[in-house]
Amino acid sequence: MTTFVLVPGGWKGAWVYDGVAPLLERAGHTVHALTLSGLGADDDRATAAINLDTHVDDVLRVFDRDGLTDVTLVGHSYGGMVITVAADRARGRVSRLVYLDAFVPRDGESWWSETNEFFRELISAGAADTGNTVQPTLGGDPRRRPHPLATFFQRVRLTGEVDRVARREFVYCAGWEDRTPFAAQRARLAADPGWLVHDLPTGHDAMGEDPEAVAAILLAEGENPLGRAVIQSTAPSPHRALA
């Protein structure tokens, strides 16, 4: 039995995994889908004080509370920043990292430094009203919440422990190539024998578009010695949701 901890991307909560979590549980696994600080529907914490470290602490608190070990830690989009630092600080309790179309930062990098100009403009416009949070884009799921601005700017500080995680995987969503900030990252990781890279033809929110394909990746056992795999999907036209 595997223990999965699922971390959402920006503006979103545990609900983004509603299509995936039951598939994992049906296969006999334990699933913890998280909503990070400041992003819950009834969360009234001061978002100006929330940064990346706050969200990392959210993850590690679940590890400590439930005594989790041998964890498969999954992050979508911005959630890649969170799971990277959490794994670095988890004292060997993470056995697998899965980045679902997510940022894979190196020491000293931030979400802001690694994203593209499209997203920098989106963040700047979304933060103009308060300077503390970034409003979600118009349209999309009404459950999205304003996202704490500081989380996008804080640089990660890594000790190198994250590189000791035995299994590291990146899922590249190819259905929004006009906007994705992950093309160069995909190329870098695909050339690294320590990584397994999967390609999905969905838009950015693969968990909603094709939860079966995402669950299949998460349930796969073993590693591909070539360091890459292609997962085919019959997903609908890609969404333009951003995180």
**22-42, pLDDT tens digit by residue?**
999 999 999 999 999 999 988
User: Is 135:126 a contact under the CB 8 Å cutoff?
Assistant: yes
> Hunting for tokens 């950015």 — which residue is that?
204
Candidates 145, 128, 129, 118; CA nearest to 204 is: 118
Separation of alpha carbons 92 and 10, rounded Å:
26
Q: Per-residue confidence at 243, pLDDT binned at 50, 70, 90?
A: low
State the CATH number of the domain containing residue 209: 3.40.50.1820
CA dihedral 65, 168, 2, 92 (to 10 degrees): -40
Give the mean pLDDT of the chain.
Answer: 91
CB atoms within 10 A of CB 108: 10
Instruction: Mean pLDDT check: name the lowest of 72-76, 160-164, 229-233.
Output: 229-233
Candidates 194, 196, 140; CA nearest to 12 is: 140
Active site residues: 77
Residue 28 placed within a domain: yes
**83-137, pLDDT tens digit by residue?**
999 999 999 999 999 999 999 999 999 999 999 999 999 999 999 998 999 999 9
Residue 238 placed within a domain: no
**40-52, pLDDT tens digit by residue?**
988 766 688 999 9
Residue 240 placed within a domain: no
Q: Which domain holds residue 127?
A: 3-230
What's the domain count of the chain? 1
Separation of alpha carbons 170 and 163, rounded Å:
14
Residue 239 placed within a domain: no
Residue 235 placed within a domain: no
Separation of alpha carbons 243 and 240, rounded Å:
10
Separation of alpha carbons 147 and 123, rounded Å:
10
Residue 241 placed within a domain: no
